[in-house]
Amino acid sequence: MATLVNPVHCIVPPHIIRALLEHKDKRIREIALRTLAASIRSRERRNILGRLPLRAAAGEKTRSIYDAKHNWNSTGTLARKEGDPPAADAAVNDVYDGFGHTYDFYKDVLNRNSIDDHGMELKGFVHYGQDYDNAFWDGQEMNFGDGDGVIFVGFTKALDVIAHELTHGVTQNTADLQYHTQSGALNESFSDVFGSLVKQYVKKQTADKADWLIGEGILAAGVHGEALRSMKAPGTAYDDSKLGGKDPQPAHMDDYKDLPDDEAGDNGGVHINSGIPNHAFYLLATELGGHAWEDAGHIWYDTLKQLWPTAQFQDCANVASQVAGQAFGAGSKQQQAVRSAWSEVGITVAEPGSRVPSRRRRAEAAAPANGALKKQLAHVVEELQKVVEEMG
């Protein structure tokens, strides 16, 4: 097990990028290689820079959007800063607005002053790389690719994607959940939850009217799917060989995927097993009804603030129940709904004062998959290295 200290959080999971490496179109294969190479370069950059927050004066909304001009690093021309009128570039305006909606949600709903709760500047780069098939938070800023036009059509129009990635920064500054196995899946899940809530808040949707999709609108025409993930029905967001087949997310612990705790295994399936806590939140929100960002959202946010880096699903369930009991009263409908939601995904909330061991990783079960995935990637290693060298 190799815990990633400074991971780069990408919206498109590794198993989809691997599928693109097998695409019949040579151009798509090359784009996938470049996408992987860019992730490596970004991770190296983050390891060098560490976690140095960029802060603005407390209480101010400060947005800076840059045009990367298809370079493979976070440099570019300032295209729009806080208070500027709309730019001619739609991608710049999409990110400017998305940053604003996310900031407003955290400020107005959760009383949080930006990502770090100290007025951190929201900085983003559009047109990152050439046909880059991803968007990511690198610990300091956001980077958005334009997509290849065949599988993905850009990442700036999806508000939930923007809010998802910025929420990784919120998690980094609260629970700081380690990015592997169950703690990593919780990290991804909190981003999906608040990504969806920001979208619902802007649209003023009630829980029963929301689509509960993550990444709706970023898939190109001809791809059989609605989005990258579905919180309402994990495992149903897409079904297309171009994306590696059927959406692999589980909705219940019975279907938990024990994957290798390395990059080939998505660090233990962080983008896959997140379907379980995602579905728990969906069940809670729809059971309580009304606006999901109200009672359900506050319970989840307070839970995030009380978790710790190695927290597991069981820990999250226990803390969420305790938070609901403290906020709304022991035995309240909110607390009962929390307990019921986790029970429906296969996790029994511990009784107050009792100790329930966290679910252990089954390393033996992961070993065969580990070998298979490494073999699948072996034939692209040399090509990937060439691409990295080519990109300088």
> Is 284 part of a structural domain of the chain?
no
Active site residue 141: no
Q: What pLDDT does residue 38 have?
A: 65
What range does the domain containing 252 cover? Answer: 9-273+364-390
Q: 222: which 2 tokens?
A: 């001809």
> Is 135 part of a structural domain of the chain?
yes
Average pLDDT of the residues in 170-176: 96
> Is 219 part of a structural domain of the chain?
yes
> Is 233 part of a structural domain of the chain?
yes
Q: Find the range with the poorest average confidence among 96-110, 134-148, 180-194, 209-223.
A: 134-148
Q: Find the range with the poorest average confidence among 33-47, 261-275, 285-299.
A: 33-47
> Is 20 part of a structural domain of the chain?
yes
pLDDT tier, 344 (very low <50, low <70, confident <90, very high otherwise): very high
Burial class of residue 179 (count of CB atoms within 10 Å of its CB; 0-12, 13-18, 19+): buried
Higher pLDDT, 342 or 1: 342
> Is 347 part of a structural domain of the chain?
no
Highest mean pLDDT (candidates 23-27, 137-141, 253-257, 382-386): 253-257
Name the pTM for this structure.
0.85
Catalytic-labelled residue, pool 30, 165, 188, 226:
165
Other Cβ atoms within 10 Å of 66 Cβ, number: 23
The crossing angle, in degrees rounded to 10, of helices 275-288 and 313-328 is 20
Reported as a single tens digit per residue, the pLDDT across 155-167 is 999 999 999 999 9
Q: 61: which 2 tokens?
A: 């909304």
Average pLDDT of the residues in 230-257: 96
pLDDT tier, 37 (very low <50, low <70, confident <90, very high otherwise): low
The total number of structural domains in the chain stands at: 1
Which H or E element spans position 364?
helix 363-378
Higher pLDDT, 25 or 284: 284
Query: Taking CA 286 as the corner, what is the angle to CA 198 and CA 304, rounded to the nearest 5 degrees?
Result: 50
pLDDT tier, 219 (very low <50, low <70, confident <90, very high otherwise): very high
> If phi over 0 gives left and psi between -120 and 50 gives alpha, with beta otherwise, what is residue 149?
left
State yes or no: pLDDT of 142 exceeds 80.
yes
For the chain, give the mean pLDDT.
85
State yes or no: pLDDT of 261 exceeds 80.
yes
> Is 324 part of a structural domain of the chain?
no
Active site residue 44: no
Q: What pLDDT does residue 312 have?
A: 98
**Judging by DSSP bridges, how do beta strands 9-10 and 213-214 pair with one another?**
unpaired
Question: What percentage of residues in the chain have a pLDDT greater than 70?
Answer: 81
pLDDT tier, 286 (very low <50, low <70, confident <90, very high otherwise): very high
> Is 330 part of a structural domain of the chain?
no
Catalytic-labelled residue, pool 15, 164, 168, 271:
271
Q: What pLDDT does residue 16 have?
A: 79
Average pLDDT of the residues in 123-136: 91
**Any idea what the CATH number is for the domain that residue 63 is in?**
3.10.170.10
> Are the C-beta atoms of residues 109 and 201 closer than 8 Å to each other?
yes
Higher pLDDT, 388 or 333: 333
